[in-house]
Amino acid sequence: MKSGTGRPTGPPARGRTAVPAAAVLLVSLLVLCLLSLLIGTGSSSPARAWDYLAGDPSARADPQLRLAVVDVRLPRTLAAVTVGLCLGTAGCLLQAATRNPLAETGLLGVNSGAAFAVVVGLTFFDASSPTALLVWALGGGTAASAVVLLLAASGRAAGSPLRLVLAGSALGATFHGMTSYVLLGTQSTFDVYRYWTIGSLAGVRTSELLPLLPLVAVGLAVALGCARPLAALGLGDDSARSLGHHPGRVRLVVAGAVSLLAGCAVAVAGPIAFLGLLAPYAARAVAGASMSGQLVLSALIAADVMIVADLLARVVIRPWEAPVSVLLAFVGGPLLVWIARSSRLSTAGATS
């Protein structure tokens, strides 16, 4: 409806708040990154870490302080930001493509495929180093999602949300059974796998993280390029076709981007639950129907939450560390129940 001046009337769109919200989240992310460099489980105080970052000569001459800030905390900070950006963006893409506000990256078989690949690498190829585990996890997650895409792309209903979810669930269950079978006879493999599968940023090294950044950049670029087609899909497949889009192709491209982003995240930190599900929900509450706003806000929210969770993991049971995934589960579980019971659930998906 328009007023006499020709301007639309009514309440302002929620999408108008996306830009200031993104600015606030970005500033928060920078502050959290600084705190991540200052706080750790070791004996180095935040004040001494600040002196090191400020260039104090005595602090720079301390090898233990350099080890804590540069070799331990800096890689973890970069890893937390990377994993958060990947899971937030991937979750937002998947929920929009399937029009299911409870969809998460595990539906494409990424987690189960990565887990099976890690077990195979540990058992048959002696892939016990962190770098080897990262490569096996990335390869397994990407391969599993590729199989899901091939299954979803076949048949008359190619690219439909239901076929995509069913293919991912079926393959995920298959990989889970195969993983359990291999683990039954290998105690040493189970010990390493148990540590990997809890989800943690401890032990991440910059040399392992840097090769993944180009893949992450490609995934994020594809995600932003899918914003307009996904917005059209939110109106329904028929409306999207009338606007010149091909829903099946769009969903397959989105699934490929989700596979790449989720595979990188799983390779770095292991399976992380809830983050890719909850961040898009919060982003939709702010950005409204703006798909590009949802993608940006979801990525920033997930990155902020990931760093906060990693900071808490360092201090909550000091001098030991708690797994990041456990802390996220404590928060994510109750929030998921609340979302599922919310009367707004039906309007919180891609149609919002």
Mean pLDDT of 236-242: 85
Q: Which long-range contacts (CB under 8 A, 24 or more apart) does 48-56 make?
A: 49/73
Residues of 62-82 as b/e, b for ≥16 C-beta within 10 angstroms?
beebeebbeebbbbbbbbbbb
* pLDDT over 70 (residue 243): yes
What is the rounded average pLDDT of the residues 322-345? 76
Across residues 299-311, what is the average pLDDT?
95
Average pLDDT over residues 316-334: 83
For 72, the 3-state DSSP assignment is helix
| 52 closest CA partner among 43, 61, 41 | 61
Residue 344: per-residue pLDDT: 53
- When mean pLDDT is compared across 121-135, 145-159, 200-214, 271-285, the lowest value belongs to 145-159
Predicted confidence (pLDDT) per residue in 47-86, tens digit: 999 999 999 999 899 999 999 999 999 999 999 999 999 9
Q: 104 forms bridges with which residues in the sheet?
A: none
From the list 251, 257, 115, the residue with the least C-alpha distance to 172 is 115
Lowest mean pLDDT among 189-193, 209-213, 296-300: 189-193
Helices 130-153 and 110-124, interaxial angle, to 10°?
130
Q: What is the pLDDT of residue 15?
A: 57
Q: Is the CB of residue 261 less than 8 Å from the CB of residue 87?
A: yes
- Give Cα 62 to chain centroid, integer Å: 36
Q: What is the sign, positive or negative, of the torsion defined by CA atoms of 175, 142, 231, 247?
A: negative
CB atoms within 10 A of CB 181: 11
The stretch 243-259 carries a mean pLDDT of 87
Is 270's pLDDT higher than 50? yes
Q: What pTM was estimated for this model as a whole?
A: 0.86
Of 277, 155, 130, 293, the closest CA to residue 205 belongs to 130
Q: How does residue 136 score in pLDDT terms, banded at 50, 70 and 90?
A: very high
Beta partners for residue 8, in sequence order: 2
Please check the confidence at residue 351 and state whether its pLDDT lies above 80.
no
Are the CB atoms for 80 and 300 separated by under 8 Å? no
Number of Cβ within 10 Å of residue 241's Cβ equals 13
DSSP assignment, residue 11? S
